[in-house]
Amino acid sequence: MCVVGALVFAPCVAVAEQIFLTPRDFLSEAFEGEVPKAQTLWVRGKVKADISDILGRKSVGLRIRYWGRGDRTAWILEDIGKYHPITAGFVVQSDKVRRVSVLVYRESIGWEIKYPFFTDQFVGTSLSNGWRLSNPPDNISGATLSTDAMTRMAIVALYLHRHTRKLDG
Amino acid sequence: MARGKQRKKVFSTNRYAYVWHKRIGLVASFLVVVLSLSGVALMHSDQLLLDQHNMKNRWVLDWYGLDPESDPLTYRVGTGWISWLEGSLYFNGNLLAENVAEPRGTTIHNNLIIVANASDLYLFTKNGELVEHIRGLELPGEILAMDTGPNGHLLALTSEGSFQSDFEILNWYPTELTVEPAPPRPTPADIEEAILDNYRGHGLPWSRVLLDVHTGRILGNWGPYLMDAAALCLLILAGSGIYNWIRNRRK
């Protein structure tokens, strides 16, 4: 099964956005041009509590939109860096992160996280016990909070990937 | 005789010091209590969550002049009311979300409250829980108006034309149908009251009030001078107390 999800966590704030990659382009790259239709996953009960726990806050949307095919999963997630939400795409396959892209960045500093030297650190990482990554990324000086947000989102992507696979039996 | 005069003078000076020590103490005591209590509270503001809790007292809020600059914009949604006031969104007077731009359309769809502004679409349950926040990049264009169409699907008039969503609002398709922007309606009095209570309560953390009490600024420009006077009184009390103690010890 292949799943791509859009998870919306953060409130809207009118700030200058730097769009590095549109969701459409990200999905197209994730699925090599053939983007499957979007589906929805309702986040309730333990799943919602777990996601709140990972993100460290309660304001988690009840519905996650996703697209899927095969065993590859990719998610478009948002989490707050310092003041503003960062939108990032995660492709997950066989319970491991296969690709990470920063789609929209809204903070004034810390945009270095968009570069492959940072995002590639997530490739191959998986979920370990206690909501941690098996290979946490190295921090970028001056972008600690953005790095933390990307790490949290990677954990959520891996968690949701595993959850959708359980649902599919 | 001279010794008696000297004793009388010492007694008079001591008495004078005692009387003024007492008077200044009485005058300063109220301000010192205020200073002390507010100071202790501010020292522990993190533990007491003073930054996270807001003042609700209307008298204090009025004193600070916490009135919104505009009236709420209110729209009829099913049997309820969606209101927007300076970035905050309300359903029947209860806060739904913050940092939200002015709505350009509101409706009930699939038992969810839908609110659209230029670049966002918000989906809420009727209990006020956020279901999903769909951002501009996932919308067909800048939203100019939004409503439920005659076929029960969500219709959006955007900068790129008219679009209709599927039932779950996952995908958008061009359509010939169009929708007009719905004008706001007068806000019912009870809803406006609830919104104003929430708005005012949102803007004034307890830490701000306590800091202003501590520095005297809550009383305006002269307040800090009053607190200066209290500090001066404390210094005089310390001085007169030491003076009295030395005098008593000599006896």
The answer to whether the CB atoms of A65 and B132 lie below 8 A apart is yes
pTM here? Answer: 0.67
Q: Which residues contact B43 (CB under 8 A, 6 or more apart)?
A: none
**What value does the mean pLDDT take over residues B133-150?**
88
In the predicted model, is pLDDT for residue B12 greater than 70?
Answer: no
**Strand order in B80-85's β-sheet?**
B73-77, B80-85, B88-91, B94-97
A26 to each of A80, B52, B141, how far by Cα in Å?
20, 38, 18
CA–CA dist A55, A76 (Å, integer): 15
Report the candidate in A3, A18, A129, A5 with the shortest Cα–Cα distance to residue A81.
A18
A10, A62, A87: residue with CB nearest B129: A62
B64 lies in some domain: no
Check B170 against A61: CB less than 8 A apart: no
Per-residue tokens: B134: 């769909």
Whether B196 and B229 map to the same domain: the answer is: no
Residue B118 included in any domain:
yes
Q: A48: distance to nearest CA of chain B, Å? A: 12
Kindly state the average pLDDT of the residues B199-206. Answer: 77
Q: Read off the pLDDT of residues A94-117 as tens digits, 9 standing for 90 and up.
A: 999 999 999 999 888 888 888 999
Query: What residues are paired with A80 via a beta bridge?
Result: A85
Output the pLDDT for position B154: 92
What residues are paired with B165 via a beta bridge?
B172
Structure tokens at A41: 């996953």
pLDDT value, residue B4: 58
Same domain, B41 and B157: no
How many whole angstroms separate alpha carbon B228 and alpha carbon B244? 24
Q: Is residue B160 part of a domain?
A: yes
Q: Which residues contact B194 (CB under 8 A, 6 or more apart)?
A: B90, B92, B93, B94
Read off the tokens for B71: 């009236």
- Does pLDDT of B248 surpass 50? yes
CATH number of the domain residue B171 falls in: 2.130.10.10
Structure confidence at residue B5 as a pLDDT band (50, 70, 90): low
- Chain B CB contacts of A61 under 8 Å are 130-133
Per-residue pLDDT of B152-199, as tens digits, reads 889 999 999 999 998 888 889 999 998 888 889 999 999 998 898 888
Instruction: State whether residue B119 sits within 8 Å of chain A by CB.
Output: yes
Closest Cβ–Cβ partner in B117, B132, B138 for A63: B132
Residue A10 has a pLDDT of 46
Whole-number mean pLDDT of chain A? Answer: 84
Chain A residue at shortest CA distance from B116: A12
Q: Is residue B68 part of a domain?
A: no
Q: Are residues B89 and B176 both part of a single domain? A: yes
Last residue of a domain, one of B177, B202, B227: B202
Residues from chain B contacting residue A59 (CB–CB below 8 Å): 130
Considering the domain architecture, whether residues B226 and B185 belong to the same structural domain is answered as no
Q: Is residue B166 assigned to a domain?
A: yes
pLDDT given for residue A57 in this prediction: 79
Domains contained in chain B, number: 2
Domain ranges, ordered by start, for chain A: 3-167
Question: According to the model, what pLDDT value does residue B70 have?
Answer: 85
Average pLDDT over residues B110-115: 91
pLDDT digits (tens, 9 = 90+) for B26-75: 888 888 888 889 999 999 988 888 888 888 777 887 788 777 878 899 99
Q: What is the mean pLDDT of each run of 10 residues along chain A (169 residues)?
A: 45 63 90 84 88 82 85 88 89 93 88 90 91 90 90 94 81
Q: Are B137 and B179 contained in the same domain? A: yes
The predicted pLDDT at position A166 comes to 78
What domain range includes position B209?
2-53+205-250
Is the Cβ pair B137, A65 closer than 8 Å? Answer: no
Q: How many CB atoms lie within 10 A of CB B69?
A: 6
* CB contact (8 A) between residue B137 and residue A22: yes
pLDDT at position B6 is 60
Which residues in chain B have their CB less than 8 angstroms from residue A62's CB? 125, 129-132
B28 lies in the same domain as B92: no
User: What average pLDDT does the structure give for chain B?
Assistant: 85
The answer, yes or no, to whether residue B223 has pLDDT greater than 90, is no
